[in-house]
Structure 1
Amino acid sequence: MTETPQHPRNARMLTVEQLRRHVADGLVDTVVLAFTDMQGRLQGKLNHAQFFLDSVLGEGAEGCNYLLAVDTEMNTVGGYSISSWSSGYGDMEFDMDLDTIRLMPHNPGQVMIQCDLTGHDGRPIPMSPRAMLRRQLDRARDMGFRMVTGTELEFCVYDTTYEDAWASNYQRLVPANQYNVDYSVLGSQRVEPLLREIRNAMYAAGMTVESAKGECNLGQHEIAFRYDDGMVTADNHVVYKLASKQIAHQQGKSITFMAKPNEREGSSCHIHMSLRGTDGELVFWDEERRARSATYDRFIAGVLRTMREFALFYAPTINSYKRFAKGSFAPTSVAWGIDNRSCAVRLVGSGAGARMENRVPGGDVNPYLALAAMLASGLHGIEQELELEPMTEGNAYESDAPVVPSTMREARDLLAGSQLARELFGEDVVEHYVHYADVELDAFESAVTDWELRRGFERL
């Protein structure tokens, strides 16, 4: 790889030349090359900084392609066309995005660079989450649009280390708050040493941090970041998720982003999205009428029309579907409403702030997949001039609207049978993620759970 002029996303991120100076001055000694896998996790390599500058920057780096064909436990599993024993488990190239060089201040001396994944022929690997999102962003640009979006990621904090949580089989975890601290300043301040460190570290890492607030579940909180272009938001999301866990670990705590870590309220990841013209002009709002534009309505119609078929991209784990319960603030109805939190799609704002909120994703979402699905379906609605169905007023939980899939099995079957998904994402991509669901379902259905043991060990 050859160096090209860099345009950092903001002044707190680094150019290659600034990275060279930091290494020469002894401020940086480690360069992390990271890509996002199917599960939304950052995977990669930690390089000695001088070796990175002397060799990797110009020659590139590789990793085994099974990293896009493993389960959550990192087991290599059969059935993926991209990677297998018959194909020799070959390598893929780490295509460094040098606009993403960021300091990781909670890990002194470390910077991170995020990567795309390509084959040896230089072509993007289509089922790579970053490639899936880039394909839809390119499609939007070709139509004269750019996407701006923000993700609101909730998590639960425990005064239990990850090691102790593992050793106790995740039983008897100690939440950082013992009661509902939704919007409670006192409740947030109880966890403020952790929240403050995360906020400040992420600001130094190049993100625009807005605020922190308590949520409903025990020890549940949210840190908000300003919206940005689609790829920037997704990149920031996965870095923030990793860094939050690392900072919690450094403070003797743990954080989980599970959609439903217990029987109380789940952790959401509401996604706000709007379109702009490529020159920044409004797309979702008609200033003369002071009302939503026809393009906005068609975009919403597209998202709603495909929400059930694309549910696996919004709810990617077995646990995701346990969050969807009536009256839980997680949606069950595929409906839209104006500032209505009982709907799957909530419309908020006006003028430049007019945007849709997708309330289906949980804290376990892979942001690249969810953003790609939302953008692909919304653009489909614009292209096909889909008509927006009537708004749902009142309690959408009690409406007759179609419902969000209630199990991963249902979502898997809907994606497998979706011709539109195959047209928008590609046959190979759909088959890849259908098989991902099959692997997870097989693992879950063969497991003996604590629930079964408690109910059946003695009494049956």
Structure 2
Amino acid sequence: MKDYLRKHPQVRTIRVAAADLNGQARGKRIPSRYADKAVKDGTRFPFSILSLDIWGEDIDDSPMVFEQGDQDGVLKPTERGFMPMPWLEAPTALLPIWMFRENGTPYDGDPRHALNAVVNKYKKRGLTPVVAMELEFFLIDDSGKTLQVPSSPRSGKRRKAAETMSIRALDAFDTFFTDLYDACEAMDIPADTSTSETGLGQFEVNLMHCDDALRAADDAWLFKLLVKGLARRHGFAASFMAKPYAEYSGSGLHTHFSVLDAAGDNIFDSGGPKGTAALKHAVAGCLTAMSDSTLVFAPHQNSYERLVPDKHAPTAICWGYENRTAAVRIPAGSPAARRIEHRVAGGDVNPYLMLATILGAALMGMEDELEPPSPVTGNAYAMDLPQIPATWEAAIDAFENSDMLSRFLPKELIRNFVLTKRQEMHYIAELTPEERIELYLDTV
């Protein structure tokens, strides 16, 4: 890690940052000459910082603040090490960190540790998840009272329509996407294909599959920071909020995963299109946990404006082969690449929590040898099926009262997340729709 700063003497400051429960980057700015201390000894800030609400405020009734004296945790660098922050004007390095207790044990309220614990459960069984993510986001001109698609830097025109899979839409923002891919290369984020999507000024970038789930979540978290920061350098906003425009589809964060055994073979590969018993058990686990864990996939008030019928987001708890109306889809293709696509999460999620929940539920299904219902064919929106919680309040209640989630999420994290969401729900009720959009546009 120290070699990075020696090789980049132009870097004068660093940022040390951890992801809180909302996926917000929390940390400090440090002159680069003191970076060695942050690497060797770590940095310190209160445990409560990882459980702030979406405004960055303490949780009013959190036991961590006054009851426990707002004690400090110790934050140490992750294995990712230093990387550039291409969205800033001055040369700056980012050092991702995660939180430990004074005695060196992981802090259970840290979402990255939650994912690491799930991955370790796979390792104990000789298994390795392989993960890829598809991240959708909007480019937005938010300089006026009404949100609109930015003017094209090439033509100066605004295309006020969805341009699904449009090369013209990609070319209109070619300078931004060229800078984005250069920045991903510099940050070692494996950005692959980009497409224009069905929303107004909406795009998707796929991140390549990775056999290190922690790194995959890091990539998604860092990518969100990068896209939002870089868009501002280009004179507009980028937002991963679930639903900025009521009349258009929202943004999802679809997760594809398979599982390798100790020999490196995909345990979902049956040699044919249907997949193995292990695949079906994993699907059953995801479906069984879906209602209780919806709050992870839809963590904000705005999230539930995306989860409506016929808007390219799932509403029914079901699965199917090559069926994008289902919450869980089994894509076609080579049997060796047989995988599960989990389609519920919005772009506004915390990638660490999302992946811990998906992989934890899948492992639960495999451990218990759960059997899924029959796969659906046709339009799942039109079928009489169990439904994903339709409101934020219902999702919070289901998450809080679940007897299942503690199998793969720490109880302290569950408690902190519920307290955070209940406080947000209380104060967001006081905001106008315009104020809610303004809140979520830059934060999530």
Is the aligned partner of 1:222 residue 2:204? yes
Quickly say closer, same or farther: Cα 1:379–1:172, change in 2 above 3 A.
closer
Q: What SS is found at the alignment partner of 2:95?
A: strand
Amino acid at match of 2:162: N
How far is 1:80 from its partner? 2.1
1:444 to 428, 431, 434: 428
Contact 1:304 1:335 in 2 (8 A): yes
Contact 1:175 1:218 in 2 (8 A): no
Query: 2:230 is matched with which residue?
Result: 247
Amino acid at match of 1:260: K
Deviation sequence 1:275-315 (CA, Å, 0-9, x none):
1124422111123x664111111001100111011111111
Q: In the TM superposition, what are the counterparts of 1:16-415 in structure 2 within 5 Å?
A: 16-23=1-8, 26-53=9-36, 55-81=37-63, 83-107=64-88, 109-160=91-142, 164=143, 168=145, 171-176=146-151, 177-228=159-210, 229-263=212-246, 264-287=248-271, 291-348=274-331, 349-415=333-399
In structure 1, the gaps of 5 or more residues are: 1-15, 453-460
Contact 1:331 1:342 in 2 (8 A): yes
How far is 1:446 from its partner? 3.4
- Percent same amino acid among aligned pairs? 27
How far is 1:437 from its partner? 2.0
Q: What SS is found at the alignment partner of 1:227?
A: strand
Q: What SS is found at the alignment partner of 2:259?
A: strand
- Distance in structure 2 (CA, Å) of the matches to 1:449 and 1:155: 20
Q: What SS is found at the alignment partner of 2:164?
A: coil
Deviation sequence 1:185-209 (CA, Å, 0-9, x none):
0111111111221111011211222
Of structures 1 and 2, the one with the larger relative CO (CA 8 A, separation 6+) is 2
Amino acid at match of 2:430: S
Deviation sequence 1:417-443 (CA, Å, 0-9, x none):
211112332332222222222112111
Quickly say closer, same or farther: Cα 1:60–1:428, change in 2 above 3 A.
closer
How far is 1:451 from its partner? 10
How far is 1:69 from its partner? 2.5
Contact 1:181 1:188 in 2 (8 A): no
How far is 1:28 from its partner? 2.7
- Distance in structure 2 (CA, Å) of the matches to 1:450 and 1:236: 31
Query: 1:11 is matched with which residue?
Result: none
Amino acid at match of 1:397: Y
Q: What SS is found at the alignment partner of 1:52?
A: helix
Deviation sequence 1:98-146 (CA, Å, 0-9, x none):
4333233444532222111112122211121101111100111111111
Amino acid at match of 1:22: K
Query: 1:457 is matched with which residue?
Result: none
Contact 1:153 1:224 in 2 (8 A): yes
Amino acid at match of 1:440: E
Q: What SS is found at the alignment partner of 1:330?
A: coil
How far is 1:330 from its partner? 0.5
Query: 2:155 is matched with which residue?
Result: none
Q: What SS is found at the alignment partner of 1:280?
A: coil
Contact 2:149 2:200 in 1 (8 A): no
Instruction: Give me the TM-score of the superposition, normalised by structure 1.
Output: 0.88
Contact 2:26 2:50 in 1 (8 A): no
How many residue pairs match? The answer is: 425
Amino acid at match of 2:31: H
Query: 1:9 is matched with which residue?
Result: none
Q: What SS is found at the alignment partner of 1:302?
A: helix
Which piece of structure 1 moves more, 121-130 or 171-180? Answer: 171-180
Deviation sequence 1:172-227 (CA, Å, 0-9, x none):
54445421111100111111111221111011211222121111111111122211
RMSD over aligned Cα, in angstroms?
1.9
How far is 1:384 from its partner? 0.5
Contact 2:19 2:50 in 1 (8 A): no
Q: What SS is found at the alignment partner of 1:300?
A: helix
Quickly say closer, same or farther: Cα 1:71–1:99, change in 2 above 3 A.
closer
In structure 2, the gaps of 5 or more residues are: 152-158, 437-444
Contact 1:136 1:375 in 2 (8 A): yes
Quickly say closer, same or farther: Cα 1:140–1:451, change in 2 above 3 A.
closer
Contact 1:148 1:227 in 2 (8 A): yes
- Distance in structure 2 (CA, Å) of the matches to 1:172 and 1:338: 37
Amino acid at match of 1:421: L
How far is 1:393 from its partner? 0.6
- Distance in structure 1 (CA, Å) of the matches to 2:96 and 2:147: 37
- Distance in structure 1 (CA, Å) of the matches to 2:139 and 2:220: 18
- Distance in structure 2 (CA, Å) of the matches to 1:181 and 1:60: 47
Instruction: Give me the TM-score of the superposition, normalised by structure 2.
Output: 0.91
- Distance in structure 2 (CA, Å) of the matches to 1:212 and 1:306: 31
Which piece of structure 1 moves more, 440-449 or 205-214? Answer: 440-449
Amino acid at match of 2:7: H
- Distance in structure 1 (CA, Å) of the matches to 2:360 and 2:351: 14
Contact 1:147 1:230 in 2 (8 A): yes
- Distance in structure 2 (CA, Å) of the matches to 1:362 and 1:308: 15
Contact 2:316 2:388 in 1 (8 A): yes
Amino acid at match of 2:203: H
Contact 1:22 1:28 in 2 (8 A): no
- Distance in structure 2 (CA, Å) of the matches to 1:451 and 1:428: 31
